[in-house]
Amino acid sequence: MFVGDDGERGEDDVSSRALAEELRALAEGGAPGREREVLGSAAARLEALRDERDRLRATIDRALIGIFRTSLTDGRILYSNHRNAALLGYESPADSIANMRASANAYVDPAQRDEMRRRITRDGYVDQFRAAVYCKDGSVKHVVFSARLYPEHGFLEGTMADDTDRVTRERELEAARAELERHSRSLERAVAERTRELSETIRTLREAQRQLVEAEKMAALGGLVAGVAHEINTPVGIGVTAASALAERTRELLATYRGGGLKRSALERYLAVAEEASTIILANLRRAGELVESFKQVAVDQSAEKQRRFNLKPYLESLLVSLRPQLRRAQHRVELHGDDELAVVNYPGALAQVVTNLLMNSLQHAYGEGDRGQITIDCRADDELAWVDYRDDGRGVPNEIAPKIFEPFFTTRRGHGGSGLGLSIAYNLVTQQLGGTIRCERPEGGGARFLFSLARRRVADATC
């Protein structure tokens, strides 16, 4: 246990000093040899113990941790070293012993005092017990106790260390956590609101995209109608001319017959004209029927997003027939290669839109006025995908714009009929509806190459 207060120290010092002097006097006063030796040794040991006690007292007084002793009877402070006194704001140990509150009143929270007592009573000691206590000036300090009960001596001895910095850091950390939680909730609300706004924006953009795709489809369909109407006009016109000539010769033959002047030679000439006119009329009506059939199928596919089975190359041939007027006016030649039996189950309207957009892109950007271009389309397939290799021999795609070519509204002919949507729509249709990929390349021989794929058997719920 620790040494007592200054009063106890004085009494101990007097008693030990007197006892040592008495022993020394007895040893020097003529005691027998053996007794003299024992008494001298005892006096020396007593002085040594006194010196050791003084050193221990000095060590305890100057220890870097607070050391205290309190009375079990009334809670008075019986001993306090310098660190303990300074920890609670007292000028010296004597000041703390004279003025420190009794232990029962030193606790800020009575519940901590009661818990301390409960543990001491139960276990005889406490270790690392944390509490808040009052200082001399009434301020509060957080400390950590370790103490042991000595009931046979009527006091409690222990150590006390400053815990204020740890408590302050914990409170600051808790405040920071609370602030972080507040910011986190605020951020979550902001993210939720932003997500809602982005979702609404995406919905609006998708609707705008759908409308743009529909507008592009209708524009292509309008061009298709105009082109097919122009294309049909030729066979229909020839048929009408042949029919008119045949009608005229029929009226002439009928007048000759009614006048009674019909001859064999005149009948033979009429029959020859009728045969020739019938052949011309039939051939041109068949040609017009083929054009109407091609137009009807392509128009239905482009206006209705329905999946069906179709042969790839023959379908593209029908599409090219409907686009022939635009190609003929531009004096370009299109070659289509591939297996006639290559079949896919996919969205033919989307495919027609993609190829139409690629052809229109070549007509607008690849060639200058008066150029005669060559466009080649090759069809092939593997187990999962069908591939369409589209090439033109025009100007090609400059390296600086190649990365942007599929971006919406990007065009090098703004103000000259370019909307910047053709290739963007083609890209979205290939990747989203046809279930494939598309890329643009610049072949070594010049021109542009667009290689795209489509699933040979597309799932039925694919959407644009």
Long-range contacts of 399-405 (CB under 8 A, 24+ apart): 399/442, 402/440, 402/442, 405/440
324 or 278, higher pLDDT: 278
pLDDT score recorded for residue 249: 87
> CA 85 to CA 135: how far, in whole Å?
9
* Helices of type H across 29-81: 33-61
pLDDT 10s digits, 293-317 = 666 655 555 555 678 899 999 999 9
Between 22-26, 199-203, 275-279, 340-344, the lowest mean confidence (pLDDT) is in 22-26
Q: What is the pLDDT of residues 429-443, one digit of tens each?
A: 899 889 999 999 888
C-alpha span between 353 and 427 (Å, rounded): 11
Q: Where are the beta strands (DSSP E) in 238-339?
A: 308-311, 333-337
More confident residue, 85 or 460: 85
Structure tokens at 16: 């030990």
pLDDT over 70 (residue 229): no
Using pLDDT thresholds of 50, 70 and 90, give the confidence band for residue 124: very high
* pLDDT score recorded for residue 340: 93
- CATH numbers and ranges of domains, the chain: 6-160 (3.30.450.20), 305-464 (3.30.565.10)
Does 10 score more than 50 pLDDT?
A: no
